[in-house]
Structure 1
Amino acid sequence: MVESTVGGPGRRALVVEDEADLASLVGSYLERGGFQVTLTGDGRDAVRFAREVDPDLVVLDLGLPGLDGVEVCRQLRTFSDAYVVMLTARAEEVDTLVGLSVGADDYLTKPFSPRELMARIQAMLRRPRPLAAAGTATTEDPLDVPMRSFGPLTIDPVGRDVWLAGQPVSLTRTEFDLLATLSRRPRLAFSRRQLIGEVWGPTWVGDEHLVDVHIGHLRRKLGDDATEGRFVRTVRGIGYRMGPGE
């Protein structure tokens, strides 16, 4: 596939798919959705283009020549917090979980409807920011929202920064949104469905265990042990909340 860029100014999308017809179809839908779109069918080129165009969104096929989608996503996460939607022709759960464990935000299994893909993307872009409680109107100046501290962990909901023992922690957008949601109401045990509604949006449809994968990735970055729950605690039969385990 010859790489190309289409569309006008606005949000930027990178489509990485070696099936030329499918890539062009996805690209046309994104362009109609207001994205400036770059297309490529090669994994190594995808990493290079991501550095050059700094995309807001990456639609990434799992099976690629050169670097596969998992390795492309792994490299992307060293310098980009773009939303990543993984495409896979293999429905086995292990492929999905491996892809998500390196930082993909969502996934679709082929064949899929481009309209469904766009609905997923729009849901991500409309994510409610966790500065205020869901469903709660507020006139508070967002800049007045205080830092949140949990022992050595500090969260800045306004600047979207996280520090652990004074050292910055690099999180993806999804990981930060999960942490910000949990830390906003630390005594509340959130179900997976509640977290999906808060972070992915109420219209998202898919496997709710997506939450578990991202929580696991977040815990690794925080040096948190799932059995102890120093920062993110598992509440059996319900879901997760902030705070130490028992």
Structure 2
Amino acid sequence: MTPTIALVDDDRNILTSVSIALQTEGFLVRVYNDSEAALRALIDNPPELAVLDIKMPRMDGMELLRRLREKTDFPVIFLTSKDDELDEALGLALGADDYIAKPFSQRLLIARIRAILRRLQPRDQMGTSTTPSEPEPEPMVRGKLEMDPGRHKVRWNGEPVTLTVTEFLILEALAMRPGFVKSRDQLLDIAYQDDVYVDDRTIDSHIKRLRRKFRQIDPQFDAIETLYGVGYRFDEE
């Protein structure tokens, strides 16, 4: 299946140039220059990934993502016209998977899109091949936590938990070796590959969001521990 990418930006020049570049790379593309119309369309018919501009009239990208996350979990890349750490922190806390500042290289954007979709669909529909002998990723059980990397599914005490690609990768890395600490830098290397450079505070935002999602199911959730000045670890007890 050919992945569908949604572009939401009030700049028609960006919509036109980026959509042409993505179509040339073999993607299906849907474009929206109005965030309210995009909200309805993306909830009714979710794409494989969306690229959202932050600075838009009527409803900005932050509010659009907040509303989308109430109903959907597809990956999101934010575009911004300025290097604003507050915007970045808010966007990542809301569940964005990546962040690119304008002006940007279309080649870089396409590389980020491919990297995120590869993580979400390791036996992908992106044109990369796997050998017949390559094993399926094994489901993992750690106490109340169940993770199925092959299907991108997570359960806590039998209840499903919806995670973004980046959140899944961070949780998987921690749960792989319960009790062992992973530093922020180690988690960054796992969650952000392909020459994606982000601040280590990004991990803190994702950890907070992970805890919040699990506590919506289990208010007593405390399996992700913080070791101040060291990093994070998963406790399966």
TM superposition score category, shorter chain reference: 0.7 to 0.9
Instruction: Pick closer, same or farther for the CA change 1:66–1:53 going to 2, 3 Å.
Output: same
In structure 1, the residue corresponding to 2:50 is in which secondary structure? strand
Corresponding residue of 2:127: none
Structure 1 residues 48 and 146: alpha-carbon distance in aligned structure 2, compared to 1, 3 A threshold: closer
Distance 1:222 1:129 in 2: 23
Residue 117 (1) aligns with residue 103 (2): no
Change (3 A) 1:123 1:146: closer
Assess, with a 3 A threshold, how the Cα gap between structure 1 residues 102 and 233 changes in structure 2: closer, same or farther.
same
User: Is the CA contact (8 Å cut-off) linking 1:12 and 1:55 kept in structure 2?
Assistant: yes
Whole-angstrom CA distance in 2 between matches of 1:213 and 1:169: 18
What per-residue deviation string (whole Å, max 9, x for no partner) do you get for residues 79-125 of structure 1? 32221001112322111111221111111122222222222222223
Please name the residue that 2:126 is paired with. none
Task: Look up the match of 1:135.
Answer: none
Matches within 5 A, 1:64-75: 64-75=56-67
SS in 2 for 1:107: strand
Q: 2:141 aligns with which of 148, 157, 180?
A: 148
What letter corresponds to residue 149 of structure 1 in structure 2? Answer: R
2:99 paired residue number: 107
Three-state SS of the structure 1 residue aligned to 2:199 is coil
**Displacement, 1:16?**
0.2
The change in CA–CA distance for 1:182 and 1:129 in structure 2 (over 3 A counts) is farther
1:26 aligns with 2:18: yes
SS of the equivalent of 1:234 reads strand
- TM-score computed with the length of structure 2 as normaliser: 0.82
Are 2:37 and 1:45 equivalent residues in the alignment? yes
Q: CA deviation at 1:54?
A: 2.0
Does the C-alpha gap of structure 1 residues 54 and 229 become closer, same or farther in structure 2, counting only changes over 3 Å?
A: closer
CA shift in 2, pair 1:45/1:207, >3 Å:
same
Question: CA separation of 1:125/1:160 partners in 2, compared to 1, >3 Å: closer, same or farther?
Answer: closer
Gaps in structure 2 of 5+ consecutive residues: 123-132
The reply to whether residue 173 of structure 1 matches residue 170 of structure 2 is: no
AA matched with 2:73: D
Q: Residues of 1 paired with 2:105 and 2:139: CA distance?
A: 42
Instruction: Give the corresponding residue for 1:133.
Output: none
Q: Distance in 2 between matches of 1:128 and 1:185?
A: 21
Paired with 1:52 and 1:220, the residues of 2 have a C-alpha distance of 26
Task: Report sequence identity in percent.
Answer: 38
Scaled by the length of structure 1, the TM-score of the pair is: 0.79
CA deviations 1:175-213 (Å, max 9, x no partner) are 122212211122332222322222222522232322221
- Provide the alpha-carbon RMSD of the alignment: 2.7
- The answer as to whether partners of 2:175 and 2:234 remain within 8 angstroms in 1 is yes
Number of aligned residues:
224
